[in-house]
Structure 1
Amino acid sequence: MSEPLARSPRPLWPHPDDVVTALRTAGCVFAEEEASLLLEVARTPDELTAMVARRASGLPLEHVVGWAEFAGLRIEVDAGVFVPRRRTEFLVARAAALLRPGAVVLDLCCGSGAVGAALAAAVPGVELHAADLDPAAVRCARRNLAGAGGRVYEGDLFAPLPAGLRGRVDVLAANVPYVPTGDIPLLPSEARDHEAPLALDGGADGLDLLRRVARSARAWLAPGGTLLSETSEPQVPPALRALRAGGFTATTAHDPDLDATVLMATRE
């Protein structure tokens, strides 16, 4: 009589409740949702255990799993790279409304390239360019924008851009850092300890980078082109002054549900 086939024992996965408890103990506000995601993406029990430990140590969930959900896309986010915030989807929506196929888009201070990727997905056929000072962000953005044919440059603001782009940009999405230097210690540890400081620090009042962009952006925009940037509500008056000093007609829009404020500056 034949013997039954021997079966390998089923791997002992951590119980979902144990994952939730570990995350909640570590202070994760959305422990149940995060546990569900980690259980979904982990390929082995050991990998799940390691992921839970990394998250419990304070590493952003997006850095643990290697991607962030943004505007319906899965954006790769490497360790140390700025994690795209959900509120920035408001900037994407405002920018997408200005685009048509064939338009030229520049994602400045692009980080992972999330804004550029979302705009290319919303309006297929745009000519997409992006730039960032952080080499880690540039490597990440190149992967995220490759499918859209995006070209990503490494350097400070407009400095690395090709001269042929000057005067051709229809939409310039400049999601520059705007946290005042003195407020950096008040940020959640996920941002303060695990994202590059240059992706957060906007100078004494948070507007240093915006002022620099405002002084130079006009030369890169096509006639009628628009610069869009995110800011906080208290920063709106000085931000508008900076944009108008740069020769723009500037307005703002606010989404209370996302707590998002976007500056829109048009070159006449």
Structure 2
Amino acid sequence: MYPSPSSVSSVVTALRSAGCVFAEDEADLLISAARDPHELAAMVERRIAGLPLEHVLGWAEFCGVRVAVDPGVFVPRRRSEFLVGRAIALAPPRPVVVDLCCGSGALGAAVLRAVGAGELHAADIESAAVRCALRNVGPVGGRVHQGDLYDPLPAGLAGRVDVLIANAPYVPTGEIGLLPPEARDFEPLVALDGGPDGLGIQRRVTARAGRWLAPGGSLLIETSERQAPSTVAAFTRHGLQAEVAVCEDLDATVVIGKRPAHAAGADGSLAR
């Protein structure tokens, strides 16, 4: 019978010695995933070496669903479920949804899964992320594009996007070293580093959002509470009606910008 109580205990001990706070829970997951003792030993070894648990398992739980997460791909955080919830609430029937900096594609897939029907496009600059996102976005009927932000999106999406979500990197460059080793050593730097003040990618997303959003469409960006005022200012500067949404339970902050329903071509940031 596999595994024996002694092997369970040894896995817990090994994980706890490596600093895993939830060693018992992680041991249960690893034991359930391993097909034999040799695979279990290899998985435990990778976890002890610091690899994120989600990379070891090959999946993360997000919005109640297991989503594929490959090594070298940003692990979706539970706090991002708040952004997904707000996006779902703002989505009209059969929305056009775009997920920028999509990573695994977990956020966009969760939105489309919840609304039931619509059009989903996810984009990321990293090849590993695009390959992973295909496994999560494909089953809900979405498409994945590789390139820098809006560049790879089909031109026909311009002015049609109802919900634009972006979990863009927002950690200031100087604070990358303060992140947990799991993140800074095993997740792609491009998914973490937001530039000197953490807002460089956010500004680029915001500056071009007006061209892609449908009248009345919404841009949602995850940020920190400290950075939110600057993000709001960028939204306002580019003609979006901005508000800040906060979830204390998840330690989540999302800035939401709506393109005015009457927007026309007068402001180049809204239509061109």
TM-score class, shorter? over 0.9
State yes or no: 1:51 paired with 2:43: yes
TM-score (ref. length: structure 2): 0.93
Q: Which residue of the partner structure matches residue 185 of structure 2?
A: 193
Q: Which residue of the partner structure matches residue 115 of structure 1?
A: 107
1:254 to 246, 255, 258: 246
Q: Trace 1:69-80 onto structure 2 (pairs within 5 A).
A: 69-80=61-72
After TM superposition, where is structure 1 displaced by more than 4 Å over at least 4 residues in a row?
A: 10-14
Q: Which residue of the partner structure matches residue 209 of structure 1?
A: 201
Q: CA deviation at 1:121?
A: 1.3
Q: Distance in 2 between matches of 1:98 and 1:265?
A: 11
For residues 247-268 of structure 1, the C-alpha deviation after alignment (integer angstroms, 9 at most, x for no partner) is: 1110101000000000000000
Which SS does the other structure have where 2:21 is aligned?
Answer: coil
Q: Which residue of the partner structure matches residue 119 of structure 2?
A: 127
TM-score (ref. length: structure 1): 0.95
Q: Which residue of the partner structure matches residue 35 of structure 1?
A: 27
Query: Are the counterparts in 2 of residues 107 and 172 from structure 1 also a CA contact under 8 Å?
Result: yes
Q: CA deviation at 1:94?
A: 0.3
Q: Trace 1:81-92 onto structure 2 (pairs within 5 A).
A: 81-92=73-84
State yes or no: 1:17 paired with 2:18: no
Which SS does the other structure have where 1:74 is aligned?
Answer: strand
Query: Are the counterparts in 2 of residues 218 and 246 from structure 1 also a CA contact under 8 Å?
Result: yes
Q: CA deviation at 1:126?
A: 1.5
Gaps of 5+ in 1: 1-9
Q: Distance in 2 between matches of 1:11 and 1:228?
A: 46
Which SS does the other structure have where 1:230 is aligned?
Answer: strand
Q: Distance in 1 between matches of 2:187 and 2:127?
A: 13
Gaps of 5+ in 2: 261-272
Q: Distance in 2 between matches of 1:117 and 1:32?
A: 30
**Percent same amino acid among aligned pairs?**
63
Which SS does the other structure have where 1:158 is aligned?
Answer: coil
State yes or no: 1:104 paired with 2:96: yes
For residues 19-64 of structure 1, the C-alpha deviation after alignment (integer angstroms, 9 at most, x for no partner) is: 1000000011111110011111111010111100100010000000
Q: Which residue of the partner structure matches residue 146 of structure 1?
A: 138
Q: CA deviation at 1:100?
A: 3.5
2:212 to 202, 215, 220: 220
For residues 198-249 of structure 1, the C-alpha deviation after alignment (integer angstroms, 9 at most, x for no partner) is: 0000000000011111110000000000000100011011111111111111
Query: Are the counterparts in 2 of residues 100 and 126 from structure 1 also a CA contact under 8 Å?
Result: no
Structure 1 pair 234–45 and aligned structure 2 pair: CA distance change class (3 A): same
Q: Distance in 1 between matches of 2:13 and 2:241?
A: 52
For residues 130-178 of structure 1, the C-alpha deviation after alignment (integer angstroms, 9 at most, x for no partner) is: 1000010001001111111101100000011110000000000011000
Matched length: 259
Q: Which residue of the partner structure matches residue 165 of structure 1?
A: 157
Q: Distance in 1 between matches of 2:88 and 2:183?
A: 27
Q: CA deviation at 1:11?
A: 6.2
For residues 76-104 of structure 1, the C-alpha deviation after alignment (integer angstroms, 9 at most, x for no partner) is: 01101000000000000000011243110
Q: Which residue of the partner structure matches residue 57 of structure 2?
A: 65
